[in-house]
Amino acid sequence: MDMTDGAATEVVNPMVQSLLYDVVTTDVIWDCTNCRACMEHCPMYIEHIPKITEMRRNLVMWQGDMPGEAQAAFTNMERNYNPWGVGWAGRAGWLQERGVREMVNLLPEDGGEFEYLLYAGCAVSFDDRYKRVGEALVRLLDKAGVKFGYLGTEEYCCGDSARRLGNEYLYQTLANQNLESFNNYGVKKIIVVCPHGYNTLKNEYPQMGGNFEVYHYTEILAKLIAEGKLKPTKSLGAKMTYHDSCFLGRHNNIYDEPRKILQSAGGSIIEIEKARNFGFCCGAGGGRMWLEEHAVEGYKRINDTRTDQLLEPKPQMIVTNCPFCLTMVSDGVKGVEADVEEPTKVYDVAEVLWQAMS
């Protein structure tokens, strides 16, 4: 008993407290965006993210305690192999919608040889805004003469969101389905559009025997430009701020290739303070794309804070490299510039390069 203040208070032995609930609250566990800033800058080299992920796994797979939005995302991935929950049979429908079907070697239908597999991911297939990014990338690869294949309905969600949110069983199920498809077609090299899928296929699929050469599309485009296979025909001459996504930047140290692409397109990049390994998260990592961020009095939402940073130098456009970041920053601009007649445009790197090519 503690009598310091004249009143008896019970002192709880920390050795009998539960790490979950008593020591670390579920709000803290679910609020993490996996941005990796804590691990990048921690002087003690503490690995926070793996510990948080393990605690989420305990909550989801042992306690059955998770936000309702997370459960909905799991159900969508279980039934239709994507977090949006759109019917899996339409996964290749974006090719027709965007008018690029003839440029794509759809492996289940066309067969044929290919050097790279294009792992388009769920966002390109089911997010209407990001389908335009998929179209731009396909047109660029076709223009450069790259031989690539696409799995269409035989491509499944990479499982990133399932693993980040603690559903390890679902992640491994999706990963195994993808690995079976990759092996069936003899895949050796993979181009991934989304940084979350890129990180998963490159760094986590090897844990399950999936050893491939995995590239983010910005690495491939920068290589094609350097080799002279892609030559921008006009300079955009636009002032832009570039957002380093956490999973391409801090998780995989890819900072220069996207900037080289934008510079080749005539972009004048204004480097903001919170850039490169000091970049600020958009708020959608760690599976939080599918969870609601509850506003706290006196604090802005993460994506609004990041948007303010990107808009501060008054750029003509903001450029991202990730579907989650594109969504979060676009929403942030709509909020900040709601009364502006012509809000600042938000583009993906591939879209910017294609604008300079056509």
pLDDT tens digits, 117-136: 999 999 999 999 999 999 99
State whether 216 and 241 are in the same domain.
no
Which region among 70-79, 105-114, 237-246, 297-306 has the lowest average model confidence (pLDDT)?
A: 297-306
**CA trace torsion 278, 284, 288, 289 (10° rounding):** -170
Domain end point (choices 179, 194, 223): 223
State whether 175 and 258 are in the same domain.
no
Residue 289 contacts residue 251 (beta carbons within 8 Å): no
In angstroms, the CA 225 to CA 270 distance is 22
Residue 297 domain-assigned (yes or no): yes
State whether 183 and 310 are in the same domain.
no
State whether 143 and 260 are in the same domain.
no
Domain end point (choices 223, 258, 274): 223
pLDDT, residue 15, reads 76
State whether 117 and 203 are in the same domain.
yes
Range of the domain at 199: 80-223
pLDDT tens string 186-205: 999 999 999 999 999 999 99
Q: Does the structure show a pLDDT above 70 at 258?
A: yes
Residue 8 domain-assigned (yes or no): no
- Confidence band (pLDDT; 50, 70, 90) for 351? very high
Residue 90 domain-assigned (yes or no): yes
In 3D space, the residue among 124, 79, 142 whose CA is nearest the CA of residue 326 turns out to be 124
Please classify residue 175 by burial: count the beta carbons closer than 10 Å to its beta carbon, then call 0-12 exposed, 13-18 middle and 19+ buried: buried
State whether 50 and 95 are in the same domain.
no
Residue 75 domain-assigned (yes or no): no
Work out the mean pLDDT of the chain and round it to a whole number.
95
Q: Does the structure show a pLDDT above 60 at 3?
A: no
Token code pair at residue 256: 């220069």
Residue 52 domain-assigned (yes or no): yes
Residue scoring higher pLDDT (300 or 354): 354
pLDDT, residue 156, reads 98
Q: What percentage of residues in the chain have a pLDDT greater than 70? A: 97
State whether 28 and 113 are in the same domain.
no
State whether 145 and 43 are in the same domain.
no
Residue 3 domain-assigned (yes or no): no
pLDDT, residue 4, reads 56
Domain end point (choices 223, 257, 278): 223
Residue 205 domain-assigned (yes or no): yes
State whether 167 and 39 are in the same domain.
no
Count the domains in the chain: 3
pTM of the model: 0.94
| CATH number for the domain that contains residue 285 | 3.40.50
Residue 4 domain-assigned (yes or no): no
State whether 113 and 219 are in the same domain.
yes
State whether 48 and 141 are in the same domain.
no
State whether 207 and 289 are in the same domain.
no
In 3D space, the residue among 269, 91, 120 whose CA is nearest the CA of residue 201 turns out to be 120
